[in-house]
Structure 1
Amino acid sequence: MAAAVVVAALLLAGCSDAISAPGATNVEVDTPALREMKVEAGIEDCRPGSGAGELPDLTLPCLGGGPDVALDSLDGPLIINLWFSGCGPCRDEMPALQSFYAAYGDQVGVLGIDVENYPEAAISFAGMVGATYPQLADPGGEIFDQPDLRVGQGFPQFIVIDADGRVVHQAAGGLDTEAEVVAMAEEHLGVTL
């Protein structure tokens, strides 16, 4: 039993650099090299919202450059996905999110929030799977400190925003098909896709 605890502690310690404890960091998410990677990956620029929604008063930078986005300005319908490139379920889910975005992004937006210390890895992975939807960066994990959100520590996670900017659903991710993303959107947003 003691050996299992030691192995688990070592595994967790090995992952500690990928995700920071909540709070500001010095991780650069907008450099010339990252901007070039973002363009090569085909990731769309972030779009600031125009509403006054229920998300917290937290502004995050666009991963790989572009306009910062105040979360409380986002309106929907919108599916927000919290992820990081070293997360197996996140990696499995991203192609389904991209497929959904390609088919229904004009009706229901998709926005990723990468919560790791390695923006190069995030952009590289998104490019590898062809994920073109906009990505914010939260290397300090500040979204976890927001009292109005029930964001746990597991990944991936979803926050679903309706057309009025209200948070209508928060849940663990792990959706592997476009059909599962469609079902979540239809159930919580009242849309027919």
Structure 2
Amino acid sequence: MKRLLTFAAALCFLAACTSESPEPRVAVPDEGDPTWSVTCASGATPIDGVGDLELDCLGDEAATSVGPGGKPMIVVLWASWCVPCQEEAPEVEAFYQAYGDQVDVLGVDTADTRDLGRSFAEEFGMTFPSVFDPDEAVRIGLGVPGLPGLAYVNPDGTVAALVAEPGVTTESMVETAEAAFGLELA
């Protein structure tokens, strides 16, 4: 009996390990281009590891300096094909809606296509700006091994905290931002 249970457990384990990942929910709309268009503001300060990098704004394609302006910034690395990014998108948006006046949020659509990125942003109702980074310059510069990833960047461009694992929630973003930036978000 014990062998049968061990064999059954092994089969369940193998089935879980070999099952395919769920399909991404985002698709390019059938009719026309995505309509999502949030403009970006250029940051004044380069981010340590990233440097003086300009990327196209995902929303309006304007050249955008990647870095903080006058307040702390959370850089959110995401892509339309990233299933954990899909799960986290509403959490990041909720953080931005609640605390965007105190902490800037900049999305970085990473290793994606512009249309899929804009469709993703449209589907999840993202109101924070995002830049388009098909070559992964920001992810590589920050040393984030894969997606998703969040960098908590001080106004002087130093990275105060890095979260490089899935499962981010609005609450965890608040906790990390308060600790990283010495703020009490209200």
**TM-score where L is the length of structure 1:** 0.71
Alignment of 1:1-193 (within 5 A): 37=34, 40-41=35-36, 43-51=37-45, 53-54=47-48, 55-71=50-66, 74=69, 76-146=71-141, 149-152=142-145, 154-193=146-185
Superposed displacement of residue 141, structure 1? 1.7
Equivalent residue letter for 1:105: G
Distance 1:129 1:44 in 2: 13
> Relative to structure 1, is the Cα distance of residues 138 and 103 closer, same or farther in structure 2, using a 3 angstrom cutoff?
same
Larger Rg: 2
* Residues 146-191 of structure 1, C-alpha deviations (whole Å, 9 max, x = no match): 3xx3221x21011111122221112214244311111111111111
RMSD: 2.7
Q: Runs of 5+ in structure 1 lacking a partner?
A: 12-32
Cα distance in 2 between the residues matched to 1:122 and 1:183: 28
Q: Deviations over 1:54-98 (max 9, x none)?
A: 342221111132432222565530000111111111111110010
Question: How many pairs are equivalent?
Answer: 159
Kindly tell me: are residues 175 and 75 of structure 1, through their superposed partners in 2, closer, same or farther at Cα, counting changes over 3 Å? farther
- Taking the aligned partners of 1:158 and 1:49, their CA distance within structure 2 comes to 17
Return 5+ residue gaps in structure 2 as ranges: 1-13, 21-31
8 Å CA contact 2:46–2:52 kept in 1: the answer is: no
Deviation at 1:104, TM superposition (A): 0.6
Take 2:156 and 2:64, find their aligned partners in 1: how far apart are those partners? 17
> CA 1:157–1:145 in structure 2 vs 1: closer, same or farther (change >3 Å)?
closer
The 4+ residue runs of structure 1 with deviation greater than 4 A are: 72-75
